[in-house]
């Protein structure tokens, strides 16, 4: 495969393909395993992820790349094959989460700043040698308007960190996924999500420009514009699509490599229906696909339950969600296809 950043980025958003976000930290994957009653050990985490990477139907047809966690990029399958080699054999690009997590922003209660810039140049060089050709850094913007969250300082600090990260990635020959996630956990309405997302993306692209990041060699991983979970409202796919595309037209340069959404706590089917509605109102200046964690993995996790006997059923569940999201990335999904499964 070409090693040019813009070619890697283009492959990541190839028609009908999207990213599998399998980069849960050890703390997060433990929470997921607790739900299915599986003890989280290095081996169980390996077995679980190997199950997905060996789901050849899903991987070869629908998955363009996999975001890994530090532990996983170093791990070998049960038969000794590096997991990275299994991913590469499917044609998908291995990627790596490089941020060190969102920490409280000093002086701004309720706001966070994502850490991990110190030593990043050296870590990126190591990850490149291990086969990573893209990376991910997630900034977290919560919304709690009554408490003044997010502050302008939080938005600016996170955008600056994302730009420094992106420049270091490109220096290392790695495509940066820039992820400024405006959380959907709050009680806010869709207008507030739109306004905060607009402020966030406007600042982000100003910082990427100032940091001399080549936009063609970047992927944006954004939230969709929708009402917060605690608002008691569910935005319709048509409303989500209209607001999200309006926002991007106002703030996201056409030059970027592409857009791959996070699912952020939407149900599996919501995440698919919303992506589909977004693509159905195209054409758009960018490719818009998925980079889902929970919305791709919740079903296979449940089907797997930590048992080798369930591997085929879990792979089938993964293939189904990947197929549905493949159709949504093309604007060709229909609700009745869910029932057919």
**Is 59 or 177 the residue whose CB approaches ligand 13P more closely?**
177
Closest residue to ligand 13P, judged by C-beta, is 293
Question: What are the strands, taking DSSP E only, across 74-229?
Answer: 93-97, 102-104, 112-114, 134-141, 175-182, 219-220
Instruction: Please give the Cα distance from 62 to 81 (Å, whole number).
Output: 23
- Closer Cβ to ligand 13P, 51 or 219, answer by number: 219
**32 vs 250, beta carbon nearer ligand 13P:** 32
Closest distance between ligand 13P and the C-beta of residue 262, in Å?
A: 4
Confirm or reject binding of residue 131 to ligand 13P (CB under 6 A): no
Nearer to ligand 13P, 28 or 81 (CB): 28
Query: Element (H or E) spanning 314, and its range?
Result: helix 311-329
> 131 or 264, CB closer to ligand 13P?
264
DSSP E strands: which ranges in the chain? Answer: 18-21, 63-68, 93-97, 102-104, 112-114, 134-141, 175-182, 219-220, 258-261, 288-292
Please, which of residues 281-300 interact with ligand 13P by CB under 6 A? 292-295
**Choice among 221, 233, 287, 336 that is catalytic:** 221
Stretch that binds ligand 13P, among 1-9, 57-65, 188-196, 258-266 (CB under 6 A): 258-266
Please count the other Cβ atoms lying within 10 Å of the Cβ belonging to residue 305. 14
Task: Restricting to residues 229-248, name those near ligand 13P by CB under 6 A.
Answer: none
Q: Which is nearer to ligand 13P, 217 or 264 (CB)?
A: 264
Query: Quick one: CA dihedral 227, 233, 236, 239, positive or negative?
Result: negative
Phi and psi at 290, nearest 5°, equal: -110, 150
- Which residue among 65, 150, 258, 264 contacts ligand 13P (CB under 6 A)? 264
- The yes or no reply on residue 318 touching ligand 13P (CB under 6 A) is no
Distance CA 2, CA 72 (A): 24
Environment class of 99 (CB within 10 Å of its CB; exposed 0-12, middle 13-18, buried 19+): buried
| Cα–Cα dist 40/26, whole Å | 8
Alpha helices by DSSP H, listed for 139-293, are 152-171, 190-210, 237-251, 268-280
d(CA 334, CA 172): 41
Among 262, 277, 317, 322, binds ligand 13P (CB under 6 A): 262
Specify the stretch interacting with ligand 13P by CB under 6 A; choose among 6-14, 146-154, 231-239, 262-270: 262-270
Please indicate whether residue 287 is annotated as part of the active site. Answer: no
Q: Is the dihedral of CA 176, 99, 43, 28 positive or negative?
A: negative
324 touches ligand 13P by CB under 6 A = no
Q: How far is the CB of 226 from ligand 13P (least distance, A)?
A: 13
Residue with tokens 């935005």: 235
* 17-76 residues near ligand 13P, rule: CB under 6 A: 21
User: 138, 188, 320, 326: which one contacts ligand 13P (CB under 6 A)?
Assistant: 138
- Residue 170 Cβ, how far from ligand 13P at the closest point, in Å? 20
- Measured from the CB of residue 107, what is the shortest distance to ligand 13P in angstroms? 25
244 or 263: CB nearest ligand 13P: 263
Residues 156-215 that bind ligand 13P (CB under 6 A): 179
Q: Catalytic residues, which ones? A: 221
Q: Which residues bind ligand 13P (CB under 6 A)?
A: 21, 138, 179, 262-264, 292-295
């Amino acid at each position: 495969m070409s090693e040019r950043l813009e070619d890697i980025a283009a492959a990541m958003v190839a028609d009908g393909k999207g990213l599998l976000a399998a980069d849960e930290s050890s703390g997060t994957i433990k929470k997921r395993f607790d739900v299915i009653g599986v003890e989280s050990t290095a081996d169980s985490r390996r077995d679980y992820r190997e199950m997905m990477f060996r789901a050849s139907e899903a991987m070869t047809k629908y998955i363009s790349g996999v975001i890994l966690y530090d532990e996983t990029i170093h791990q070998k399958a049960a038969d000794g094959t590096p997991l990275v080699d299994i991913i590469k054999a499917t044609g998908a690009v291995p990627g790596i989460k490089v941020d060190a997590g969102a920490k409280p922003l000093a002086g701004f209660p309720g706001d966070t700043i994502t850490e991990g810039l110190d030593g990043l140049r050296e870590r990126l060089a190591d990850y490149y040698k291990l086969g990573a050709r893209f990376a991910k850094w997630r900034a977290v913007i919560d919304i709690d308007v009554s408490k003044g969250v997010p502050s302008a300082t939080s938005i600016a600090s996170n955008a600056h960190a994302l730009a420094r990260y992106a420049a270091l990635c490109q220096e290392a020959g790695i495509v940066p996924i820039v992820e400024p996630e405006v959380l959907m956990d709050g009680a806010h309405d869709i207008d507030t999500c739109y306004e905060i997302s607009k402020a966030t993306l406007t600042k982000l692209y100003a910082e990427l420009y100032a940091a001399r990041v080549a936009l063609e060699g970047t992927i944006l991983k954004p939230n969709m514009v929708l009402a917060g979970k605690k608002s008691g409202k569910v935005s319709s796919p048509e409303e989500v699509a209209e607001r999200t595309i309006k926002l991007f037209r106002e703030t996201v340069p056409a030059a970027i490599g592409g857009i791959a959404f996070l699912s952020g706590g939407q149900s599996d089917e919501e995440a698919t229906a919303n992506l589909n509605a977004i693509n159905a109102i195209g054409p758009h200046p960018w490719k818009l696909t998925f980079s889902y964690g929970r919305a791709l993995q919740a079903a296979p996790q449940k089907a797997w339950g930590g048992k080798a006997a369930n591997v085929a059923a879990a792979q089938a569940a993964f293939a189904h969600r990947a197929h549905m999201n493949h159709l949504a990335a093309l604007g060709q999904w229909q609700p009745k296809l869910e029932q057919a499964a």
